């Protein structure tokens, strides 16, 4: 008896992923990640001064995510987490700032490259981290494309024209190959040109100061400078979208526009507060995702890698913990779309060299319902770094102003919020208190929420095999640091590698 003829669908289902993908025209991927931008600071999320037409376009033609959370409030762990689709406490040195990025971890750009994608980046990829010593041929986010270098104009020169570099990347791409591109602008990371926002014509009177910062002219002006940097990043994204449209490739490109961690101001970046980890996120895929929608589900940056792999028809490595966002993109609904997305986790270890002997400030957090629960695991340490440097807060006019005016009774509570020690447990109702100024952890009316969130968080971390809970908590203090250290905090440099007595 002869076997029945296979249907075309069955043949495709049995074919390797590449063949199936070719049939379905596998999507391109453009991942745009700004550096240090909080959720509130796009036009689409309600800011009235900053102008982000490109981000808004992605949101209007796709989905605006209202509750997207990074895996960490700092560059390196946030980026390494989203590249691997894993929590920072699952990726060893890559989960902390300016250490190694172990070669053994799978990252989505490399997996896509191995499955027929043309991969590249411009700007800041994974990092800051030492990927070379760990054996990577290039940044884990992809090989760098630089229009100036490609044109052979000069080896020592490089182009910060991100959109121009994207064009050069597209021109270098072999015909009919799908691409995966990482646009990692270094904006709005500090430093800013002081007063540049005002000079551009923006008015300090119009600024809405976040609730955890003092409302002064200096800080308003600093915020305007930050806005100008966001707009620079957004302009290049706009040019990239136009280029794809011109080439007829925008429809089948998944575009994600987001940031790596929150704004570089006291009480935001490098903290587990909402302005540190709650980030702008818009995603479009015109060919498959109905536009003009918003999503209020809690989504994690661990979800990006599984999304890209599923869209490309590539199997994901088993250790990835995130969940693909394709069910949300392909839905036609708005609001709460996926009932299983009930909580997210985030955390931090070391950021800059901010404490004596390069000690970390370990903290973990969970969002659930309207609440953000923060577990500060070493409450005796200084969260923003040892006084008087408070080096986990980047140098900034706002930082200088708050330090100089901390004795002012109106400034003092905000100074404590950004610079002072924190209790082991913090609980915030972020729907009512997005600035995270009212800790409800010892409020009896919220005792059940606090207890339930703490035990859920602890159980999850144990399941994730977080060394802080599973027998090797001090491993985080021993990872080498590859960025400059402060001698007055016990650091020293040796052959370009920086460490303390804990390292080797
Ligand atoms: Ca950053």
What are the pLDDT digits (tens) for 69-101?
999 999 999 999 999 999 999 999 999 999 999
**CA atoms of 478 and 492, how far apart (whole Å):** 14
Give 260 Cα–ligand 1 centroid separation in angstroms.
Answer: 5
Neighbours of ion ligand 1 (CB under 5 A): 35-36, 75, 260-261
Give 360 Cα–ligand 1 centroid separation in angstroms.
Answer: 18
Which H/E stretch holds residue 293? Answer: strand 293-295
Tally of domains in the chain = 2
Beta strands in 163-252 (DSSP E): 179-184
Mean pLDDT over 486-497 rounds to 67
Between 486 and 250, where is the model more confident? 250
Q: Is residue 441 part of a domain?
A: yes
Q: Residue 375: beta bridge partners?
A: 364, 425
254: phi > 0 → left, psi -120 to 50 → alpha, else beta; which? beta
Q: Is residue 15 part of a domain?
A: no
Q: List CB contacts of 416: < 8 A, sequence separation 6 or more.
A: none
**CA atoms of 463 and 497, how far apart (whole Å):** 33
The pLDDT value given to residue 499: 53
Give 142 Cα–ligand 1 centroid separation in angstroms.
Answer: 18
Give pairs for 429-432: CB < 8 Å, separation 24+: 429/370, 429/371, 430/274, 430/278, 430/367, 430/370, 430/371, 430/372, 431/370, 432/370
Domain end among 299, 323, 339: 339
Give 233 Cα–ligand 1 centroid separation in angstroms.
Answer: 13
Give 261 Cα–ligand 1 centroid separation in angstroms.
Answer: 5
* Sign of the C-alpha dihedral computed for residues 469, 475, 477 and 482 taken in this order: negative
Q: Domain check: are 69 and 32 in the same one? A: yes
Give 337 Cα–ligand 1 centroid separation in angstroms.
Answer: 29
Q: Is residue 303 part of a domain?
A: yes
Give 375 Cα–ligand 1 centroid separation in angstroms.
Answer: 22
- Say if pTM beats, i.e. exceeds, 0.85: yes
The pLDDT value given to residue 97: 94
The pLDDT value given to residue 154: 62
Q: Domain check: are 327 and 359 in the same one? A: no
Q: Are 189 and 35 in contact (CB under 8 A)?
A: yes
Give 84 Cα–ligand 1 centroid separation in angstroms.
Answer: 17
Q: Is residue 3 part of a domain?
A: no
The fraction of the chain above a pLDDT of 70, given in percent, is: 91
Q: Is the pLDDT of residue 155 over 70?
A: no
Q: Is residue 504 part of a domain?
A: no
CATH number at residue 300: 3.40.720.10
Q: Are 269 and 262 in contact (CB under 8 A)?
A: yes
Q: Are 294 and 334 in contact (CB under 8 A)?
A: yes
Mean pLDDT over 253-259 rounds to 98
Which residues span the domain enclosing 363?
A: 346-499
The pLDDT value given to residue 351: 95
Mean pLDDT over 233-260 rounds to 98
Q: Domain check: are 106 and 230 in the same one? A: yes
Give 278 Cα–ligand 1 centroid separation in angstroms.
Answer: 13
Give 189 Cα–ligand 1 centroid separation in angstroms.
Answer: 7
Give 2 Cα–ligand 1 centroid separation in angstroms.
Answer: 62
Q: Is residue 224 part of a domain?
A: yes
Give 256 Cα–ligand 1 centroid separation in angstroms.
Answer: 17
Q: Domain check: are 368 and 295 in the same one? A: no
Give 241 Cα–ligand 1 centroid separation in angstroms.
Answer: 23
Q: Domain check: are 360 and 322 in the same one? A: no
Mean pLDDT over 136-161 rounds to 84
467 to 65, 90, 332, 385: CA distances (angstroms):
31, 8, 41, 22
Domain end among 282, 311, 339: 339
Q: β-strand 293-295 against 63-69: which pairing, if any? A: parallel
Q: Domain check: are 242 and 273 in the same one? A: yes
Q: Is residue 207 part of a domain?
A: yes
Q: Are 106 and 317 in contact (CB under 8 A)?
A: yes
Q: Domain check: are 323 and 352 in the same one? A: no
Give 128 Cα–ligand 1 centroid separation in angstroms.
Answer: 9
> Tokens representing 244?
């794809």
Burial class (CB in 10 A: 0-12, 13-18, 19+), 73: buried
Give 201 Cα–ligand 1 centroid separation in angstroms.
Answer: 27
The backbone torsions φ and ψ at residue 296, rounded to the nearest 5 degrees and listed phi first, read -100, 5
Q: Is residue 123 part of a domain?
A: yes
Give 102 Cα–ligand 1 centroid separation in angstroms.
Answer: 20
Q: Domain check: are 112 and 209 in the same one? A: yes
The pLDDT value given to residue 327: 98
Give 83 Cα–ligand 1 centroid separation in angstroms.
Answer: 15
Give 11 Cα–ligand 1 centroid separation in angstroms.
Answer: 45
Give 308 Cα–ligand 1 centroid separation in angstroms.
Answer: 22
pLDDT class for 24, splitting at 50, 70, 90? low
Q: Domain check: are 411 and 302 in the same one? A: no
Q: Domain check: are 442 and 329 in the same one? A: no
Question: DSSP secondary-structure letter at 94?
Answer: G
Q: Residue 372: beta bridge partners?
A: 367, 428
Domain end among 318, 339, 360: 339
pLDDT class for 157, splitting at 50, 70, 90? low
> Tokens representing 312?
């490309």
Q: Domain check: are 473 and 324 in the same one? A: no
Give 442 Cα–ligand 1 centroid separation in angstroms.
Answer: 32
**At which residue do the structure tokens 């969970």 appear?**
366
Q: Domain check: are 411 and 313 in the same one? A: no
Q: List CB contacts of 122: < 8 A, sequence separation 6 or more.
A: 144, 145, 146, 162, 165, 166, 169, 181, 182, 183, 184
């Amino acid at each position: 008896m002869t076997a029945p003829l296979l249907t075309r669908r069955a043949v495709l289902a049995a074919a390797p992923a590449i063949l199936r993908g070719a049939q379905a025209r596998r999507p391109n991927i453009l991942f745009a990640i700004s550096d240090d931008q909080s959720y509130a600071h796009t036009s689409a999320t309600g800011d009235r001064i900053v102008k982000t037409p490109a981000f808004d376009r992605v949101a209007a033609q796709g989905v605006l995510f209202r509750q997207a959370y990074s895996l960490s409030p700092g560059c390196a762990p946030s980026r390494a987490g989203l590249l691997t689709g894993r929590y920072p406490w699952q990726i060893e040195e890559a989960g902390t700032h300016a250490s190694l990025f172990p070669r053994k971890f799978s990252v989505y750009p490399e997996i896509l490259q191995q499955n027929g994608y043309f991969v590249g980046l411009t700007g800041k990829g994974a990092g800051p981290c030492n990927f070379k010593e760990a054996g990577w041929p290039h940044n884990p986010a992809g090989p760098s494309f630089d229009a100036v270098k490609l044109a052979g104009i000069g080896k020592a020169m490089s182009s910060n024209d991100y959109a121009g570099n994207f064009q050069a990347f597209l021109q270098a791409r072999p015909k009919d190959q799908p691409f995966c591109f990482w646009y990692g602008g270094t904006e709005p990371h500090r430093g800013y040109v002081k007063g540049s926002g005002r000079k551009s014509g923006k008015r300090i009177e119009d600024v809405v100061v976040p609730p955890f910062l003092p409302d002064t002219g200096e800080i308003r002006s600093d915020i305007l400078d930050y806005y100008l940097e966001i707009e620079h990043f957004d302009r290049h994204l706009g040019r990239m979208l136009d280029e794809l449209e011109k080439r007829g490739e925008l429809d089948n490109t998944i575009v994600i526009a987001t940031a790596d961690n929150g704004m570089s101001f006291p009480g935001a970046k490098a903290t587990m507060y909402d302005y540190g980890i709650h980030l702008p996120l818009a995603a479009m895929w015109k060919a498959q995702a109905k536009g003009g929608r918003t999503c209020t589900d809690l989504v994690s940056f661990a979800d990006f890698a599984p999304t890209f792999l599923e869209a490309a028809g590539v199997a994901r490595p088993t250790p990835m913990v995130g969940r693909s966002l394709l069910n949300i993109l392909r839905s036609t609904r708005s609001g709460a779309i996926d009932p299983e997305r009930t909580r997210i986790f985030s955390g931090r270890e070391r950021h800059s060299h901010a404490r004596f002997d390069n000690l970390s400030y370990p903290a973990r957090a969970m969002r659930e319902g309207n609440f953000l629960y923060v577990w500060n695991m070493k409450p005796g340490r200084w969260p923003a770094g040892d006084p008087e440097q408070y080096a986990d807060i980047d140098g900034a006019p706002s930082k200088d102003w708050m330090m100089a005016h901390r004795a002012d009774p109106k400034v003092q509570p905000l100074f404590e919020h950004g610079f002072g020690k924190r209790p082991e447990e913090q609980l915030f109702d972020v729907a009512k208190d997005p600035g995270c100024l009212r800790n409800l952890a010892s409020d009896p009316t919220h005792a059940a929420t606090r207890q339930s969130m703490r035990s859920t968080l602890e159980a999850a971390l144990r399941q994730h095999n977080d060394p802080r809970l599973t027998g090797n908590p001090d491993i985080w203090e021993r990872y080498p640091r590859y960025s400059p250290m402060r001698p007055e905090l016990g650091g020293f440099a040796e052959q370009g590698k920086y460490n303390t007595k804990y390292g080797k």
